[in-house]
Structure 1
Amino acid sequence: MRRGLDTLYAVSLWLAALCLVAIALLVGAQIFGRIVDTVLVRAGMEPVGFVIPSLAEICGYLLAAGSFLALAGTLKAGAHIRVGMVLTHLGPRARQVVETVVFAGAAGLAAYMTWHLGQFAYVSWSFGEVSSGLVPVPLVYPQAAMAVGMAVATVAFIDELVETLRRGRPSFRAGEDAFSHEGEV
């Protein structure tokens, strides 16, 4: 089970990374096209006029998909921004209770968001909604990617809830504790 969950989180992170690579490639191609046009104009030639239609819109969809797909992996790595000031002043038992309540609430909210993002994607699919840009992008694709990313994040929150209940601490806290004691004498 552990290997399956870790694989799920890794695949989700790789998909998020692919979204970012796609953004970089698209923007890079557009910049390269502008550079070529500038060189051609300065050389007294006609510009090619290379343009990627709806670039900003497509990159926005890729960024949204990548952001949601990265949620679970960053949670499991302990890379989410958390406010630990309160937790550091609590005893071990009180800290476990607070973390358990927070993970339970986060899992509930994530499940709620997953459901509604899925419904949103379904409605877009059933009505055949497309974006209003020059390139009519079917909206179901970015919305479905967001729903999948949120579903994986829901699984990660439940995973952390179970870890906190079983072991008394989230799985990523060992790395935080080792980091916080590095500079101590």
Structure 2
Amino acid sequence: MSKTFIHTALLSEAQALINSLKLKQDNSVQNLPKNSKLFKDEDEKYLLIVSGMGKENCINSLEYVYENYKISKAINIGIAGCSDSSVKIGTLFCTNRLLPNINFAPITTVDEPLEDDENLETLLVDMEAKYFLETSKKYCDNLFCFKVVSDYLEIEIPKKSFVIELIEKTKQSWKKYL
């Protein structure tokens, strides 16, 4: 059976989905990439992986999923830094498609957190979107990359409770694409 696949880098980014889709962690999976956690729903309609941050974690976890499951749709949901402080914290963007009633902006993916926007040519910045899209395009055509503004290029990762709240508050806007 074909599944909707959801990728997040952080468990706090996944928490709203784990709760609303009633996902359970699958500890029986063999050869799951280091730092990854896999979650499924009872009907096995949804598959969610928390990869850990960065390029290597992201690519390894995505390839694992695509090589072991039939995926009809892939969604990345996470937080992103923003170079424009006039954009409110908590604003939702889709970075790869124009969707009704959802902001669109391109995103730059970096391997190290940015301290300033000196060399940044996009509004948003994160550490996984590029790798999610590049890897997923090899296996799946129906892709969505949703990002919620969490900060204005601060180096520290926001508190878990804050990230959970940000994703939860935007859920009504993106959940119809699941």
TM-score by length of 1: 0.25
- Larger fraction in helix: 1
TM-score by length of 2: 0.26
- Larger fraction in strand: 2
